[in-house]
Amino acid sequence: MGFKAKARKHRKDGDSDKAETKKKSNAGELPCAIKGCEKFADKSLGGRSLSLDNALDMWGESNFTPSKGRVRVCKSCYRSWKKENKNDDTY
């Protein structure tokens, strides 16, 4: 009967430093190249790199920061790009 209360207490104990660890693992090292986007383009976070042409079509010349001829975008930017560019992905 006291079972539930006990479990709850246990959970509360581990919560305090958990929040910080979670925050850390969410941050990447490569910022998304799209202006106004504050996400990360790290591969481990689902980021992709698009060609300059692709990014130009989608966001326009002054709305992203290319690096070495590629444009690194975060997962959600890549997804919105993909939506607009339904290529033969099923090839």
Give the residues lining the site for Zn ion (CB under 5 A).
Answer: 32, 34, 37, 39, 74, 77
How many residues in total does the chain contain?
Answer: 91
Q: How far apart are CB 75 and Zn ion at their closest, in Å? A: 8
Nearer to Zn ion, 6 or 48 (CB): 48
**Given the structure tokens 């509360």, which residue do they identify?**
12
DSSP-derived 3-state class of residue 49: strand
Nearer to Zn ion, 2 or 36 (CB): 36
Nearer to Zn ion, 18 or 44 (CB): 44
Q: How far apart are CB 24 and Zn ion at their closest, in Å? A: 20
Percentages (nearest 5) of helix, strand, coil residues in the chain: 55, 15, 35
